[in-house]
Every structure is written in structure tokens, then in C-alpha cells.
Amino acid sequence: MNIKPLADRVIIKPLPMEEKTKSGIIMPDTAKEKPQEGEIVAAGPGKVEKGERIALEVKVGDRVMYSKYAGTEVKYDGQEYLILKETDILAIVG
Amino acid sequence: MNIKPLADRVIIKPLPMEEKTKSGIIMPDTAKEKPQEGEIVAAGPGKVEKGERIALEVKVGDRVMYSKYAGTEVKYDGQEYLILKETDILAIVG
Amino acid sequence: MNIKPLADRVIIKPLPMEEKTKSGIIMPDTAKEKPQEGEIVAAGPGKVEKGERIALEVKVGDRVMYSKYAGTEVKYDGQEYLILKETDILAIVG
Amino acid sequence: MNIKPLADRVIIKPLPMEEKTKSGIIMPDTAKEKPQEGEIVAAGPGKVEKGERIALEVKVGDRVMYSKYAGTEVKYDGQEYLILKETDILAIVG
Amino acid sequence: MNIKPLADRVIIKPLPMEEKTKSGIIMPDTAKEKPQEGEIVAAGPGKVEKGERIALEVKVGDRVMYSKYAGTEVKYDGQEYLILKETDILAIVG
Amino acid sequence: MNIKPLADRVIIKPLPMEEKTKSGIIMPDTAKEKPQEGEIVAAGPGKVEKGERIALEVKVGDRVMYSKYAGTEVKYDGQEYLILKETDILAIVG
Amino acid sequence: MNIKPLADRVIIKPLPMEEKTKSGIIMPDTAKEKPQEGEIVAAGPGKVEKGERIALEVKVGDRVMYSKYAGTEVKYDGQEYLILKETDILAIVG
């Protein structure tokens, strides 16, 4: 993929529903916010704070949970992706 | 459990009502916010500030009280969990 | 009491109205916010800023005034307590 | 007085209207915010920033002007006082 | 004048309309905010940041332009003054 | 082009729709925010933080995706450009 | 001109419409914010951050583009000027 996110942004390929079932995560039926799952396909270099670059905790290939209201959608070669900041990622699903 | 929270997030397994009674904490009947109790089942590495990682005050196994409006719910192997930030934890119930 | 508040939080046992009269503090009848009085029964270790833990100015046993809109109520062994942050404490009543 | 304000808070005894006239300050009749005058009867140790305590610019005995919308009222031995932060004090009246 | 402003506050004696005309500044007739002119009659010592006091750029005697919506009015010996922060001063009129 | 953006601003020449199709990015038909594509034709020197200038991650010639609600439009020699801050750039398309 | 802006403020003499046409910048007819052009006729010394003064990127004589909603208008010797902060300047047109 030839899209390089800036700073602390990553590009995520959302998982289809079938894979979600296989990994064991099922979204509950309540009024709370429900996270989504996806795979990181590109990651920025980290943002700079006080002159130092803060490395990301996630890397390409990680399967992650993220807030479903976060980020910006893009379509590339027929596939939908999401660009979001690392702070919108909740956890790595190992 | 194979979910690793990022930064200063933890994963909490909420306590059922019966256990709450045993630990002696009963929620009062007022208009104020009422905390929930649960056990920490996974904890992030702490967030980075000014280039240094701040270790969490809580650890896996701690029983904690937390704001009931905080966090994101996930279901895993039929059990509901909550992902929230350490700052949403009020106290460790010892 | 086996509840340990995190960071800069304390647990306060509110004073009943009779004791308030004895200590000489009477709440005025105006539209301004009115503080409450209570005794600190547990205190956190202080929060971490720039890598250093800031010790609390208050300690267990202090009688304090605090904003009545602050904090989270909990009931423990039939007694109501309040968990709040040190910044919500206005003064120590000596 | 046995009330010790925390951090950068002070306790002020508001001046009655007669004294205000004597000191020469009269509130104007416009739509702008009008300050109040009072005497500082107790002062906190100053707040801590980056590990250092910032001493207050005001001290017990100072006559000060302050925003009338600031602070929390308390009554003690029949006298009304105001607890507010030093940043709500506009000037020392000399 | 025996009023000492705190931190980065100054006390300004507003110029009457006639003097404004003499100094060559005339307020335009548009919808934009229009500044006022006045003379600084008292200045605070500057505020403290990271343990260092930041000296003010203005001094007693300076004629300045300031936002007409800023500050707090006080009347002293029959004269109206304005207490405002240095950041509300736009320019020194030399 | 003789326009030099200040600090962390860049000037972007938006891509016409045909080029967008060629590069493979198609905007999806959902309610989420849709990014735009363009080429950077001028870049500021970076902004100063704590006395140090932070170099930009992007440079003149980069093809980038950016939020369509960001920035300020200008027309120059009959061509429309956009001035925006680097933080409004999502990714380099490369 | 005897007006000295404070901190990071500058005084701008707006360009009349004819000159704008000559410099090649024409404002587009869309709903987006449209910048204005003008010449800097006075500049402050820069603001102080962490004890160090940050020099301005612009200087007297620079032709600049700025947000038309920014700043405060003043009239001096029959000419209208604008006082604004450097952060409201988008680019140097040079």
C-alpha cells in the first residue's frame, strides 16, 4: 500500500463480521459505545513532542480494537480503509 | 486473555451484584454518580509523558471501583468486559 | 477501612449536621455554592507530574471543607463516604 | 481563625459598604463586572507547579479587590467569609 | 494611587474623547471590535511561569490601546479606572 | 509561486477528479468525513516550540490527503489553492 | 507611525482592491473563508515563552495574507489599520 500516514496516525483495514466471530469478540447489545476490530496496514512515524519523536505502540500487522466513531474513511483499489490516530486505538487483540 | 490495552488503559471484569454485597460496598440511593466494582484482568504499559513512561498504580488482579459512565464495553468468550483509562478508576478495594 | 484511593483522591466521611454546628461553621442562606465538612479517612499517594509524585497537602484525620457538588458517593458497612480529588478540598478546619 | 486554605486559596472577610466608601472606592453604575473589597484573614501555602511551590503575592492583613462572582461563602462564628483562589484577586488596596 | 495590581494586571485611566482626537486615533465605523485608549497608572510585578517572573512590556505612564470589552471597572476619588491583564493591551501609542 | 506559508502551514494545489481516479483513491459513499487529495506547492519552515523549530514531515511535491473542511482557499493566476496546517494532512500518497 | 504593538502582534495596512488584482491574488467565490492582503507597518518584539522571546517570522514591509475575521481595526491620520497576532497571518506574498 502506498499511503504513508503522518505523525501518530495509522491506516486500518476493518475486519468483516465473519472474522470478528472467529476471534471471539462479540459486540454487546447495550447503549455503550461499541469498538470495531481491524488490522493495521500502515503506521506513521509517531508525533514529535518537545523535540522528540514518540514511537507508536502499535505496528503494521497488529489486530486492534478502535472506537467506531473515530477516523476518516478512504477507499483504495476497491477496499475501504480508515485513517485514525493511535489514541483512538483501545487495545491490541493478540 | 489475549487483549492488550494500550497506554494507560486497563480491562476490567465487572463484579456481579452478589459479590458487591459480600465486599460490603452498597450503592447509595441518591442523585450522585455511583461507582461500579470490578477486577482488573489486563493493564497497559502506562502512557508516555515528556519521553518517560508513567507506570500504572493498578495491576492485574486488583479489585477497583470505577465510574459507571466510563469506558467501552467488549464481550469475549461470552463474558462482558470494560476497557477504560486508569484516571477513571477511583480506588482500589483492598 | 480497606479502600485505597488512587493518585490525588481522598475518601471523606461527611460530618452530620450536629457536629457542623459545634465546629462553628454554619452554611449561609445565599445563592452561592455552600461547602460541606468532613473527615479524611483515606488518602491516595498523590499524582505524578513530569515524573515526580506530588504529595498531598491533606492527611488522614484532617477535618476539611469541600465543594458539595464534588466527588462520588460510596456506602461501606452502612456508612456513606465520598471519594474526591484534593483540588475539590477548599480548606482544612483546624 | 482556625481554617487553613489549601494551595493558592485565601479566606477573605468582605468589607461592609461603609468602609468601602471610606477607602475611596465606589462601584460604578455600568454593565461591567464590579469588584468587591475585603481583608485577607488566612492564606494557603501556594500551589505546586513542576515540583516547586509558588508563594502567594498576597498575605494575611492585605486589603484586596476581588471579582464578586468568585469563591465560596462560609459562615464562622456569625461572620461571613469567602474562600477564593489568588487568581481571582485583582489588586491590593494599599 | 494606592492600588497595586497583582501578577500581570495593570490599572488604566481611560482617555476622554477629546484627547483621543488629538492623538490622531479615530475609531472607525464598522462592525469590528474597536479599541480604547488610556494611560497606565499602576502595573503589577508580572506573573510567575515555571518559577520565573515574566516582566511586563508596559510601564506606568505608557499610553496604550486596549480591547473595550476587557477588564474590570473601579471608581477611585471620583475617577473611573480599569483593571486588566497585559494580554488585553494591543499596542503602546508612542 | 511566490507565496511563502508561515510556521507549519503548507499550500496545496487540489487534484482534479480525473487524477483522483487514476491514483486509485475513490471517496466512499458514507456519512463519514471524506478526505481530498492534492499536491504541496509551498511549505512553511515549521513552527517553533520551546525555542526549537519543528521541521515539517511533508515537502514540496508530496501528494497528500487532507480533510476537506480544513484550510483557507486562495486563487493565484487563475488556479485555486488551499492554505492549511500540517496537522490537517492525513497521509502522503506516494 | 508611532504605535508599537505588544508581544506577537503586528499592525497591517490593508491593500486596496486594485493592488490585489495586480499581485495576482483573486478571492474565489465559494463559501470558504477568504484571506485579505496587506503590508506590515509595525511589528511587536515577539512573545515570551518559558523565559525566552520568540522572534516573529514577519517583518515591517512584508506583504502578507491574513484571515479577514482576525484582528482589531484602528484609524490613524485618516488611514485604517488592523492590529492582529502573527498566528492570524497565513503567508508572506513575496
What 3 state SS string does E26-50 have? ECCCCCCCCEEEEEEEEECCCCEEC
- Residue C91, min C-alpha distance to chain B (Å): 22
Distance CA(A86)–CA(A5), nearest Å, equals 11
Say if the Cβ atoms of C83 and B90 lie within 8 Å: yes
Chain G residues close to E57, C-beta within 8 Å: 6-7, 45
- For chain G, the domains span 1-10+40-86
- Contact between E28 and G80 (Cβ < 8 Å): yes
Say if the Cβ atoms of B72 and A32 lie within 8 Å: yes
Which residues lie across from G37 on neighbouring strands?
A: G65
Rounded to a whole number of angstroms, the distance between the first and last alpha carbons of chain B is 23
Does the pLDDT value for residue F93 go beyond 80? yes
Regarding the domain with residue range E9-92, which homologous superfamily does it belong to in the CATH classification?
Answer: GroES chaperonin (2.30.33.40)
**Residue E27, pLDDT score:** 46
- Contact between E39 and E10 (Cβ < 8 Å): no
Chain G residues close to F71, C-beta within 8 Å: 32
Nearest CA in chain E to D37: E74
At the topology level of CATH, where does A9-62+70-92 sit? Answer: 10 Kd Chaperonin, Protein Cpn10; Chain O (2.30.33)
- Contact between C45 and C10 (Cβ < 8 Å): no
Distance CA(C91)–CA(D44), nearest Å, equals 8
pLDDT tens, chain D, 94 aa long: 789 999 999 999 998 754 454 455 554 444 445 678 999 999 999 988 777 888 999 999 999 999 877 888 888 778 889 999 999 999 999 7
**Listed residue (G46, D28, D65) closest to E44, CA to CA:** D65
pLDDT band at F23 (very low <50, low <70, confident <90, very high): low
- Residue A54, min C-alpha distance to chain B (Å): 7
Distances (CA, A) of D46 to D67, E15, G47, G76: 20, 37, 27, 45
Residues 6+ apart with CB under 8 A from C31: none
Interface test with F, best of A52, A72, A82 (most F CBs within 10 A): A72
At the topology level of CATH, where does G1-10+40-86 sit? Answer: 10 Kd Chaperonin, Protein Cpn10; Chain O (2.30.33)
Among G11, G44, G72, the residue with its CB nearest the CB of E33 is G72
Q: Is C37 helix (H, G, I), strand (E, B) or coil?
A: strand
- Neighbours of B, requiring at least 3 CB pairs below 8 Å, are A, C
Quickly tell me which residue has 511563502 as its cell: F4
Distance CA(A58)–CA(A94), nearest Å, equals 12
Q: pLDDT tens-digit profile of G7-45? A: 999 999 998 754 444 455 554 444 445 678 999 999 999
Q: pLDDT tens-digit profile of G48-87? A: 877 788 899 999 999 999 987 788 888 877 888 999 999 9
